[in-house]
Chains A and B, each alone.
Chain A
Amino acid sequence: MNRPAPRSPGELFLAFNRLALQGFGGVLAVAQIELVERRGWLTREEFVELLSASQVMPGPNVVNLALMLGDRWFGWRGALAALGGLIVVPLGIVMALTLAYDRFSAVPHVAGALRGMGAVAAGLVLVTALKLLGTLRGNRLGPWLCAAVAAATFGAIALARWPLAAVIATLGPLACVLAAWKLRR
């Protein structure tokens, strides 16, 4: 299979730096656009698979995703390059903002701009979820079980406000056992 892939840890660093700098209020939506749609390094299915693994392990999802991808292509050097790309420049910006914060936090336009960016960030996450729903088409659980698991997860987190760890600890094993049963048949 001749799919595009990064040629060096340096290219990986630049790719993750670029997507980190576009990610306001969370990087996941941009990561999907950059890695899957723009560069073609991953299929949507592979992205969902990596995201699943990132989610059940401790640590920030995007950081885990960067580490696993970097490691897959270039071993620990790739993992460090991806992680560095993700945090080095943004860390500089966050610290600059921290130093400037005291001077500008009272300006109402600044607070308004932050709200506007927050609304767009919410829209970006929702769109990413909608796009990735298509990857469930080939899922061996079948459409009804997929819909049931996704809806139960959404309800538990968004409506019932269960803690994430509790949701993953209960629905996760259940979904995996169902999947194992379907895969065996």
Chain B
Amino acid sequence: MNALAWPELLALTGHFMLLSLLAVGGAITTASDMHRYVVAEHGWISDAQFTSSIAIAQAAPGPNVLFVAVIGWNVAGLPGLIATLAGTLMPSTLLVLAVSRWAAQRRESLGVRAFATGMAPLTLGLLLATGWVLAEPFVRAPDQRLGALALIAVTAVTMLKTKTSPIWLVALGAVVGALGGL
């Protein structure tokens, strides 16, 4: 952890604010540029710290965007955390609120209806692709394939056929994994 001076903290905030506006598809899409900035250019944290920051946020409950908070913490403690998290959330928040209010007033216009109609299949294709991208590393690793496919199948059947809370399936996955099932 470094003690950053005010100008450096402001620069860090500014950089994450800029990335926030470029992060179509989630903050993770700009992770490569965050890496360039905090690891390669400034050397504030190591490669391993950067990777584990993302892994921890993905393992914890809640939105994955919290990985930026872990990066900020590793860079400069609490001030760093505030710089990266506020920088990431603020610009996109203001933009989203402005645009959604604008669109709400034009719900019946051809443009807004065409957007909702045209984007629906694209959104669902994207969701399927996300599921595939998450599953693929397990399917490609021969020693994990069987366990992972079994877990995915159990998850699918349970969620389609029952009203079980997904938290139980996540717990099942953790137990099976801890016992060496994949």
Contact = CB atoms under 8 A, between A and B. Distances in A.
B40 interface: no
B150 to A, nearest CB: 9
A58 B177 contact: no
Contact of B121 (A33, A71, A153, A177): A153
Given A61-B26, A120-B170, A22 B96 contact: no
Q: Name the interface size band of chain B.
A: 35 or more
A57 B99 contact: yes
A168 B22 CA distance: 13
B175 interface: yes
A51 to B, nearest CB: 5
A53 B60 contact: no
Contacts of B170: 22, 24, 117, 120-121
Contacts of A64: 92, 96
B127 A128 contact: yes
Q: Name the interface size band of chain A.
A: 35 or more
A170 to B, nearest CB: 10
Contacts of B144: 115
Contacts of A177: 114, 118
A122 B152 contact: yes
B57 interface: yes
A90 interface: yes
B123 interface: yes
B101 interface: yes
Interface string B98-112: 011101100000110
